[in-house]
Structure 1
C-alpha cells in the first residue's frame, strides 16, 4: 500500500483527467456547438487546456477564443445548452479509462476504503459515463459540479463528502490532476495526491504543491 493511504478511510477521486481521458468527446461537442454557429473548430489540443472548471467555463472559453471577445452571458447560456445536447448524445464514444485506474479502484474496494467521486462535470453526465465505462460499481457516492452550490476549488464538496460518511478530513484523500483538486483538498483539510498526465491548463500539477504525486494510480496499491 502506498504511504499516502496510511490512516485514510475515504478517497475522493476527480474524474476527467484523473480516471478518464474525456477530452476527445468534449472537444467533439465543443466543435459541433461552434460549427453550428459558423465558428472555427477549436480541436482537442485547445480543449485539453480549457477543461477543469465545469461545462459553463469550458463553453465560455471556447466562445471567447472563436469570437475573439468576451461572450455575453445569454450567448454563453445558449451555447452551453447546445454543447450539453451534443455531449449527451454519446459521452463515452471516444473516452477511455487511464491505465492502472481499474486495478486501483478494485484494490481500494477490497481494502474497505470508501471510494467516492467529486467532479466539476454536470451531475447528469456522471452516471452515463461511469456505467458506459464499467466504473459505476466502485463508487459509493458521486458529486457533480452542480450537485451543490459550490464546486472545486471550493472545499464544500469535499467537506460534504467527509461529513456524509462520518470521516474526519484528516483521514480523507483527494486525488486529482489539477490545481483545483489540490486547492480544494488543502482547503478542506484532506491529504492531496496528484497525477501528472491530466488537464491542468498547461501547468505542471507539481507546482500546486500536492502532498504526493504518482505517475499511475496503480502505484497507490
Structure 2
C-alpha cells in the first residue's frame, strides 16, 4: 500500500503540534494556590497532561498521576471550574508550535491531504490557539475532548471524523504523542504514527506499538510527502 492510499491525517494537539505545558502548568498552579495548596514544578505537571482538563485537575489535587480514591467528584468539579476560568484568562502566549509544524502542516495541506484535529483539550480553548497560530484554515474538522460524550482513547472521535468527511478508516492516519492517541487509532482501525518529542507521561511512545514512530515533525512531513513511500 502506498502513501497515495492515505487521504486523512488526524492530529493530536498538545504534545504533537503545540507545546502548551507552560500555560497549562501556570493555570494548574494558580488553581492550586487559590485552593490553598502548594504548586508543583512544570516538569511534574507535564506528566499529568493528556487526558483532558478534569484528569489534569484530579492528578494535581492528588499530587501524582494516579488519582486518589479519596477525592470526591464535587471536589474535582469545583477545582476544575477554577482551572478552566484561570486557563481561559491566560493569553496562551507561552503555547508554541513545535519545530517545523507550522511549515509542515501547510505543506501537507497543499499536497492534498485532508487534515483534522482530534484533541482531549476542551473545545472552548481550541479556536483561540488555532487563530493565534494562523492554522484555522488547515483543519476540515476540529474535535475537542468534550465535543462528544467520549474522548480518546475511545475511538468515537476518530469514527466521527471519518464519517463526517466520508473517508474510510483504512485511508486515515492518527498522529499523536501519547498512548491515548495510539489506542484510539488502534481501536478505530486506523494506522497510527507516534511522535517521540511529546508528553506521554514520561513513557516511550514506542511501547504503545504505533504503526510508525518519528522523532521530529520534519521527518514525519518528509515521510508523508515521499513519492515512493510504502506503508
Q: Do the structures match in fold with TM over 0.5? A: yes
User: Greater shift after overlay, 91-100 or 149-158?
Assistant: 91-100
Q: Which runs of 4+ in 1 moved over 6 A?
A: 66-69
1:44 alignment partner, one of 38, 42, 48:
42
Once the two structures are superposed, residues 168-194 of structure 1 have per-residue CA deviations (whole angstroms, 9 ceiling, x without a partner) of 100000000001100100110111001
| Distance (Å, rounded) in 2 between the aligned partners of 1:4 and 1:138 | 23
TM-score by length of 2: 0.91
Where do residues 172-191 of structure 1 align in structure 2 (5 Å cutoff)?
A: 172-191=172-191
Q: What CA deviation, in whole Å up to 9, does each residue of 1:64-121 have, x standing for no partner?
A: 1189773211111011001001111125221110001112211111111110100000
1:59 matched residue in structure 2: 57
1-side partners of 2:12 and 2:4: how far apart? 20
Deviation for aligned residue 1:6: 4.1
Instruction: Between 62-71 and 139-148, report the one with greater CA deviation.
Output: 62-71
2:216 equivalent in structure 1 = 216
* TM-score (norm. length: structure 1): 0.95
Q: Which moved more, 1:100-109 or 1:68-77?
A: 68-77
What does 1:147-166 correspond to in 2, within 5 Å? 147-166=147-166
Deviations 1:143-187 (A, max 9, x none): 000000100000000011001111110000000000110010011
RMSD: 1.7
Offset of 1:216 from its aligned partner?
1.4
The CA distance in 1 between the partners of 2:71 and 2:125, in whole Å, is 25
Sort the Cα spacing of 1:140 and 1:94 in 2 relative to 1 into closer, same or farther, 3 A.
same
User: Distance between the aligned counterparts of 2:70 and 2:8, measured in 1?
Assistant: 40
Give, in whole Å, the separation in 2 of the partners of 1:44 and 1:51: 11
Aligned to 1:204: 204
CA contact 1:91–1:129 (8 Å) conserved in 2: no
| Structure 1 gap ranges (5+) | none
* Residue pair 1:54, 1:120 contacting (<8 A) in 2 also: yes
Partner residue of 2:10 out of 1, 9, 12: 12
